[in-house]
Amino acid sequence: MTTFASFSSSRLVSVLLGLVLLAVQIQATALTSLLAANERSCYYADVDGVGEKVGFYFAVQSGGNFEIDYVVMDPDDRVLLEGVAEKQGDYIFTANKIGEYSFCFENEAYNSDKLLDFDIMVESEPRRILSAQQQPLKEHTSALEESTYKISGLLSSVTRTQKYFHTRHHRNFSTVLSTQSRIFWFTILECVIIIAMSLLQVWILKTFFSRSGSRRYKV
């Protein structure tokens, strides 16, 4: 009896490990890049199987009006996604070909540097394979698999919310810095104008009294 219980426990543990490994078959790349003005930058991701899900997320954190051009192409250089003057994007598409996919950002039409935050994710479809000896545990594994997917969905939601707040933080911080810079230079300009007006008034008064004091009158 003890042997059977230990055998069932070990088999259940192996099924759990298999579910975890199969449910999370993800290759992700999270990067932050500074794209200079009039520059083009490309990144690449390899897809090993047809039908894999490819996720692409980007957001302009600072620079200009937070706009960037982008294009996504498959291994045959066919355009899958593209956009002009976009601030952020979040896309998921199915890869129909095996090979290297390119993700390019173009800042050639703008004169300001851009700070980009982006993710490139290649996710395989999870497959649950049970041997003949594991068939009696099908009802247990189905419930566990469903719970795993729910947890994965909640984690994805939390991650997207964090990305949103991260982007808002950077954009608001950039706006604050720009406003502070404008206020500083406006104050400097205002001080220069006030000093110039004061000197001009002193010069006018000095010139007026100098001319009036040099006049001569005959009696």
What is the distance, to the nearest Å, from the Cα of residue 170 to the centroid of all Cα atoms in its chain?
10
For the stretch 156-185, pLDDT in tens is 777 777 777 777 777 777 778 888 888 999
Share of the chain above pLDDT 90, in %: 25
pLDDT band, residue 127 (cuts 50/70/90):
very low
- Contact of 117 with 101, CB cutoff 8 Å: no
Find how far residue 49's CA is from the centre of its chain.
Answer: 26
CA dist 11 and 57 (Å) reads 39
Separation CA 13–CA 128 (nearest Å)? 15
Give the C-alpha separation, 194 to 188, whole Å: 10
Residue 86 burial (10 A CB sphere; 0-12, 13-18, 19+): middle
Mean pLDDT of the region 107-136: 70
pTM: 0.58
Tokens of 4: 């059977």
* pLDDT 10s digits, 45-79: 999 888 888 989 898 888 888 889 999 999 999 99
Burial category of 204 from C-beta neighbours within 10 Å (exposed 0-12, middle 13-18, buried 19 and up)? exposed
Distance of alpha carbon 40 from the chain centroid: 17
Nearest to 42 by CA among 31, 50, 51: 31
15 pLDDT tier (thresholds 50, 70, 90)? very low
> Three-class SS of residue 170?
helix
- Per domain, the residue ranges of the chain are 17-171
17-171: which CATH topology?
A: Jelly Rolls (2.60.120)
For range 13-30, the mean pLDDT: 46
